[in-house]
Structure 1
Amino acid sequence: MWQVVNHVNQDILENKRAEYAKQIVSTLSTQLKEQYGSNFGLRNLRRMMQFAAQFTDLQIVVTLSRQLSW
């Protein structure tokens, strides 16, 4: 999932937070919830995006994810 939200942050939104970005994230959240369940609500998706923005290196994410209980 990190790769998806990292792609959204960097390539689609270009790390900007404009009004159109809110619409894109909202639409993406709706689509992900339909396909994968309620864990991809707007609030959770934004948190995932914040996480991906803070931890931009996939190797670090892989290391961290092994240590987290979630």
Structure 2
Amino acid sequence: MTTSPTAATRLPSAAQRKWLSRADDNGNLPTFWGTTGRTKEACISAGWAERRSEASCVITDAGRAALENHK
């Protein structure tokens, strides 16, 4: 998993934090959880999540750090 420079300089929105916080122990994020595609795409663009397939995303180390930095 990589860390994006963008991920290090900004924090996720409330909706993005809510989705990222739903990652399971393996880092898998919910596919259909009432989020908009925009929320997922913003997290992927920021480097907080990465797409494994069309229907699968995982949280990155940068995503975990962004959640920790927000506490």
TM-score (norm 2): 0.34
User: Which one has the bigger strand percentage?
Assistant: 2
**Who wins on radius of gyration, i.e. which is larger?**
1
